[in-house]
Amino acid sequence: MLDFTISPELQEQLDWMRAFVRDEVEPLDLLFPHAGDRYDVTNADARAILRPLQQQVRERGLWACHLGPELGGQGYGQVQLAYMNEILGRSEWAPVVFGTAAPDTGNAEILAMFGTEEQKRRYLQPLLDGEIVSCFSMTEPQGGADPKEFTCRAWLDGDEWVLDGEKWFSSNARHAAFLIVMAVTDPDAAPHRRMSMLVVPADTPGVEIVRNVSTMAERDELDEGIHAYLRYHEVRLPLDAMLGGPGEGFAVAQARLGGGRVHHAMRTVGQCARAFDMMCERALSRRTQGTLLADKQAVQTFIADSWIELQQYRLLVLHTAWKIDNLPHGAARTDIAMCKVAMAKIYHDIVQRALHVHGSLGTTMELPLAHMWMSVPDMALADGPTEVHRATVAKQVLRQYEPASGLFPSEHLPPKREAARRRYADILGAAAR
C-alpha cells in the first residue's frame, strides 16, 4: 500500500527547515551567488557564515540525512528525503548547509559502499565533516556520458596503477581535494566490465586542469567556471587507489547516479514550486488593461497548467521514492528514468510561464527567474541526456508486452466480435425465439 504520510515529528522538522532556509540560507544565495563560492573551502567570508548554519542543522539532527547513523546521518528513507529536498531545492546553498550537496553526496555514498577502511578514513570522513569537497570525473570530450566510448585508461605497472587520458565537465575539480575517476582497465572485456573507479588526490603529479569551463549561467571572463576539462598525464597511483574491484566501475557509477538522479528530481520540485509561487504573486499584484493579471484567461491557464503538472510530477517523485524504500534494489529503475525525463520539461514550462508573467522584469538579473531559465538546458543534460532516459523508459515498458500472435492486432474487432457471439450463442438464440 502506498503511504506518503508525514508524521508529526517529520512535519515539525519540515516546518523548521522551511523557515530556516527562507530566513537564514537564502541570503547566502545573494551574498555568494556563484557556484564556485559554494565549494571553495578557502572562501573565508562564506565559510564564516556557513559553519554556524551547518552547526544548527547538526544540532537539529538534520545533517546528511541520506546517510546512515554510522556515517553521521539519520538514515532517512527516500520518501522522507523527498519532502526535505523539496525545501532544499528552493536555495542553491541549502544542500551545502544540510550536507547534501552534489557531487559530494554521491561520492560519499560510493566511498561508504565500496571504499576500503583507509579510503574512508582519508577521504570519506573529511568529506562528511564538510572540511573538503570532491569531484566525480566520468564524462569525456569525445564520448560524453557513454561509458562504451571512453578512452581514458589505467593499467598496472608493477605495484602502481598508471592513469592516462582526458575527462570533460568534471565538476568542482578546481576546488576538490580528490577526484573519483572512471577509467578503462580492461579494453577487451564486455562493455560493462571494461572500467574501474580510481580515487585520485588532486595534487597528484600529472593531474592537469586544461581549463575551467563556464556554463551560460557563469561568466567566463571572470573565471567563474567550475566544470573542468582535465588531462591525466600518466598519473601514478598505488594499488589501493581502486574503489571497488577491477571491472566494477560501471556498477559503482550506477549505484551513485541512481540516487543522485532521484534527489535531483526532488530538489526540482522545490525549484518549480518557487517559480510557481512567484507567478501567482505577480498575477495578484500586477494590473494591465484595467484588471489584475490573475483575471486574464491566459494567465489563469498558465497557473492551472503549472499547478496540475507540478502536482503530477511531485506524485511521480514520491511514488519513485516509495518504490526505492519498499521494493527490491533496481525495482525503481524505470521510475527514476521517468523522473529524469519529466524533470527537464516541467522545469522548462513552469519557469517559462513564470518569467512571461513577470514581463521584462523576469528577464533581468533582479529576479531568480533569469538564472533558473539559464539552467534549463543543463537540466536536460545533467545525469545523462533526457533522450537516453526516454529510451530506457520505452525499453522497460515494452518488456511488459508481447507481439501479436497472428496477422492482425489482438484488439482486431472482427474475431473478437465472432468470439463474443459464440460465447453467448444460446442466450442470443433464445432471445430471438
Residue 15 pLDDT > 70: yes
Q: Is 204 exposed, middle or buried (0-12, 13-18, 19+ CB in 10 A)?
A: middle
Residue 223: count other Cβ atoms within 10 Å of its Cβ: 13
Determine the average pLDDT of the residues in 237-258. 88
Residue 72 pLDDT > 80: no
pLDDT of amino acid 385:
87
Residue 433: count other Cβ atoms within 10 Å of its Cβ: 4
Percent pLDDT > 70 in the chain is: 99
Determine the average pLDDT of the residues in 321-349. 94
Determine the average pLDDT of the residues in 146-164. 95
Domain ranges of the chain: 8-115, 134-243, 251-398
More confident residue, 280 or 425: 280
pLDDT of amino acid 90:
96
More confident residue, 3 or 174: 174
CA distance 218 to 36: 10
Determine the average pLDDT of the residues in 161-180. 96
Determine the average pLDDT of the residues in 166-184. 96
What CATH number was assigned to the domain covering residues 251-398? Answer: 1.20.140.10
The angle that helices 425-432 and 413-423 make with each other, rounded to 10 degrees, is: 70
Determine the average pLDDT of the residues in 9-14. 96
Residue 146 pLDDT > 90: no
Determine the average pLDDT of the residues in 362-367. 95
Given pLDDT bands bounded at 50, 70 and 90, which one contains residue 105? confident
Given pLDDT bands bounded at 50, 70 and 90, which one contains residue 258? low
Residue 432 pLDDT > 60: no
**Residue 121 to residues 25, 33, 105, 238: CA-CA distances in angstroms?**
30, 32, 16, 16
- For 117-176, the DSSP string reads HHHIIIIIHHHHTTS--EEEE--BTTTBT-GGG---EEEEETTEEEEEEEEEEEETTTT-
For residues 261 and 339, is the Cβ–Cβ distance under 8 A? yes
What CATH number was assigned to the domain covering residues 8-115? Answer: 1.10.540.10
Given pLDDT bands bounded at 50, 70 and 90, which one contains residue 317? very high
CA distance 124 to 106: 11
Query: How far from each other are the two terminal CA atoms of the chain, in whole angstroms?
Result: 51
Residue 284 pLDDT > 70: yes
- Which residue reads 580515487 in cell numbers? 199
The mean-pLDDT minimum among 14-28, 43-57, 243-257 falls in 243-257
The domain made up of 134-243 has a fold known as: Butyryl-CoA Dehydrogenase, subunit A; domain 2 (2.40.110)
pLDDT of amino acid 369:
96
pLDDT of amino acid 431:
59
Q: Is 294 exposed, middle or buried (0-12, 13-18, 19+ CB in 10 A)?
A: middle
pLDDT of amino acid 43:
93
Given pLDDT bands bounded at 50, 70 and 90, which one contains residue 351? very high
Q: Which helix (H) or strand (E) is 252 found in, with range?
A: helix 249-285
User: Which of 274, 376, 391, 296 shows the shortest CA–CA distance to 29?
Assistant: 274
